[in-house]
Structure 1
């Protein structure tokens, strides 16, 4: 029995506590060395265009990652950085609603064929989502580092932003990179915020196709500000885009098309007006990788 005679009452409690703690086995004490390591999830931009547009920070994160998710075309660009890692398909637009892709050919697949394609696509999508949930959560729990890789700025019309919302509880970190917008600005070689009547720039999607009923950012409303408009093209057709633009802008409004931005050997810039652009572009179909600029900064 512990005697506290002769010890002031105010000192007895801490004295007893100290004696009791001293008698505890070492295993009962807090052991910080056994704390489970904390894993991390990153959404990593590898840049746009040529492979050397990747940032040093992105290279570092990929080198340190144990597991990598990415679309095949993205993975192929930096296969050397991904050697020896677990590699998985990231899908396109997982964990979010993606707008339907427009059909290129009016005489294309029948309604039944399109429905079957959608069904197979949804099945594959569900499988990829289930796989990603399992692998990512188990990996982070085990203290591993996971990277989801994407082109350009992943947060501007990027297909992989669904990972940020799906795994928000894991505090994912976005590693920024050179976007198609950055590369196209550089290709134009002029200040896009230095227009005659506006210092503002609006990033939006091309106006082709029917507008959603609940959209507030229609082309007509955006055009009222006379800000420079930069269109991410999303498989749109140039004649349709020009027709819609001429409903809000005069025919002498400058327009520029930057194709393959960020590729040193393939990059192309065409500057015209709404009245002349179709003639200058000719019948050749524009590549998937192109941005359209509209604004008086091009004068």
Structure 2
């Protein structure tokens, strides 16, 4: 029976992809690389040196229309099922870890009655903490990883946890920076961790009013 693999290729550096991921990429018949309209696939650029089989670039629109998203997800799931029905082993690649804020999660929900194996990847925030040489949490400290869509939820997390990793910060950056000051948190900004144009800054004010790349995060630590 053909098998679907969900593979996390890590945050950006080719060398941070796992040995198991490389082994599977070299043996599968087809690799599916997610793209958004008019853009390439970051996951593909990371995994490219290890891919031996065919590559299909599958579009996943960046839209807030639930109807448009649902239609496209269903189309993509159907295509993947067709490949599996042809007896082809398929790898769906995604940046970071497949089980954290990834397109693969939605594919997984639509694949039933097929064999599936998920291969973990190094997360962007784990890599970012290592680049900073700053622990995300130590001793009995608490920490949370949250999406930054709702400022109210961010505020709650800052009240509850000693350390907070803020993902998807681009749309709320200025508000987040002001909130961190209000709650007495020190923030560390990492933009495109592991990529050639990576940027790291402890001066969050420097980026207020500027366009922040989607692949950006903040590690926030309570000042004690």
Question: 1 CA distance for matches of 2:4 and 2:112?
Answer: 10
Q: How does 1:42-121 map to 2 (within 5 A)?
A: 42-71=5-34, 72-73=40-41, 74-85=43-54, 87-92=55-60, 100=64
- 5+ residue gaps, structure 1, are 1-37, 101-117, 212-217
Which residue number corresponds to residue 271 of structure 1? 202
TM-score (norm. length: structure 1): 0.63
Cα RMSD after superposing both structures? 3.0
CA distance in 2, matches of 1:159, 1:167: 13
CA distance in 2 between partners of 1:90 and 1:76 (Å): 14
Residue 193 (structure 2) aligns with: 261
| Alpha-carbon spacing, 1:52–1:62, altered in 2? closer, same or farther (3 Å) | same
Contact 1:229–1:295 under 8 Å retained in 2 = yes
State how far apart, in whole Å, the 1-side matches of 2:126 and 2:199 are.
Answer: 15
Q: Give the Cα–Cα distance (whole angstroms) in 2 for the partners of residues 219 and 237 of structure 1.
A: 10
> Against the structure 1 CA distance between its residues 162 and 271, is the aligned structure 2 distance closer, same or farther, given a 3 Å change threshold?
same
Counterpart for residue 291 of structure 1: 217
Residues 58, 76 of structure 2: 8 Å contact kept: no
2:148 corresponds to 1:206: yes
Larger of the two Rg values belongs to structure? 1
For residue 290 of structure 1, report the CA deviation from its aligned partner: 1.5
Structure 1 equivalent of residue 207 of structure 2: 281
The structure richer in strand per residue is: 2
Cα distance change of structure 1 residues 240 and 136 upon mapping to structure 2, 3 Å threshold: same
Length-normalised TM-score, structure 2: 0.81
